[in-house]
Amino acid sequence: MSPFHGRFYFQLFLIFVAQLVIVGHAYINSSLITSLSHKDVQAVTLFFVIWVVLSIFDSFVLEYVSRSNREKHLDQNVYQYLQEFSLKRLLSLTVEQHIEEHSAIKLTVIAQGENATNNILIRILNEVIPIIVLIIMTIVMLFFQDTSIALLSIVFMVIIFAWNYIFNVGHYPYVTKNRDNWNQQQKRRTEAFTHLSLVKFLNRSEYFVKSFLEARRSIVAHHILTRMRSIKNSVALLTFQDISSFTTLGLTTYLFFAGAFELGTIYLIWNLSNRVYYQMGQLSNTMREIPQMYADAEKYLNVIDMEPLFNEGGKHVEKLSGDIIFSHVTFSYPKGNHPVFEDISFTIPEGKTTAFVGSSGSGKSTIVKLLLRAYDYPSGSIIVGNDELKSINAGAIRERMGYVEQHVDLFDDSIKENIIIGVPENKRKEAEEQLEEIAKKTRITEFYHRLGEKRFDTVVGERGIKLSGGERQRIGIARAMIKDPDILIFDEATSSLDTENEKYVMEAINEVSKGKTTIIIAHRLSTIVNADKIIVMDKGKMIAEGTHDELMQNSLQYKTLIEHQVIS
């Protein structure tokens, strides 16, 4: 929160002045009452004028400056800053950290945590600190009036603070479990919303509603238990605060009749102690709510305090040239029990098309993830040209690679924005000028008739739902191609397409991959038959390599895959 430190400190100063005015008001009022009892007109006039000046200063100057500072420089600005900070922190993490954690829970934690953190800051500034300052000033003022009353007040305040602390420590696990329960239930609902079309098409609406509600009884029961513990504590604490107030009033009255001080002092002590006990009641409410906010904030802070699992920095390169050489690479997924591949070595020649084939789980897509620096590899080396992949900045690698996944992910935006999203700001104008040419190469022109006059300005809907699978794939290829990458990667880009769309997509792939280092994770024979090099994978090992014709002659495993059309 360093950008706001100056404004925070200024607000703290205003809080101190505001509480000083409250204590000053009480003192002036008590002096006014004492002057009235003595019929001292001059003193009454003086204290009345001071009272008016303090009131005007409090209402018109202090209140305006304090609220203006909060509204203009803190409240909403802090919340927006938290959202910006969260986004930057999340985007700084590695792809691996996003893949391995469920996005529904993460988004819920972030949203709740931002609100909780902002609310905690607001509560601290608006309630906790003012009450603490008021308590300190009140105790000092009471010591000036009577030591016994000041000490009695301190005893009551210590008891109330200790009471709150002990309860909150014991109550925190209940609050944490309560929040975890709701987050898990929210995850199920978010899943249904995210895949709403699939849920409807599968006719599984009732299933999701039932699975959402099946844990409701236990969740609600625990929530009620948590709230009832809080309510019982609140009532008991309120009763003790009343006892504290009555006891203080009784002692003050006794001392007055004993001649220890004058009538105005009774008002001063009664006014300050009552205000402090009331404020402490408010503070106890806040202290009950803060643990629940902190339960959200703690999970949020744990997320944004995460550090990248490996260093994505390195030297920036203008071009990724040369062969790609995997040498004795071993890799396991973080939650995997066995290596995906172990001590694997092969070469992807520059400017050629290399295809990887093999049954599911053989490690084909993992090779792509390593190249894109989604994961780190603990042993072995991956050389691109003359550089170790780990030594190159991950952002620079991704800038120079064009990646088309099996199911192209589109934003709910125009076709143009979805294509040029990966282009740096300083090259967007040039990219826009190339849109028509890229559209021809990637066969987007083949579905112009469906877009009407808007063409590139057509909004594709959430996840591109308004387009067919083949149309989404072609936009994905255009997105990869418009960057003019050095390396193109197609990760099973045609596996889910029908014959007609596969034809268009393969035409696009063949067109854009001319003269570029191209990597194809293959599913169908038509995708790989013309590749310059085919690498056959099985259970994390490279078992054969060569052209299609060579492998048909020399590799039984490859021939079997082709015959059964189970290249996946």
- CA–CA gap between residue 294 and residue 301 (Å, rounded): 10
How confident is the model at residue 161, as a pLDDT? 79
How confident is the model at residue 534, as a pLDDT? 92
How confident is the model at residue 383, as a pLDDT? 93
Is the pTM higher than 0.75? Answer: no
Tokens linked to 415? 């076709």
- CA–CA gap between residue 374 and residue 370 (Å, rounded): 6
Q: Is the dihedral of CA 67, 71, 73, 77 positive or negative?
A: positive
Give Cβ neighbours of residue 522 (< 8 Å, ≥ 6 apart). 355, 356, 357, 492, 528, 531, 534, 567
Helix (H) or strand (E) holding 533: strand 533-538
Residues of the chain predicted below pLDDT 50: 566-568
Helices marked H in 322-401? 364-371, 394-399
How confident is the model at residue 272, as a pLDDT? 79
Q: What is the layout of strands, in order, in the sheet containing 353-358?
A: 401-404, 487-491, 517-521, 353-358, 533-538, 541-546
Domains of the chain: 2-304 (1.20.1560.10), 353-372+394-564 (3.40.50.300)
How confident is the model at residue 523, as a pLDDT? 66
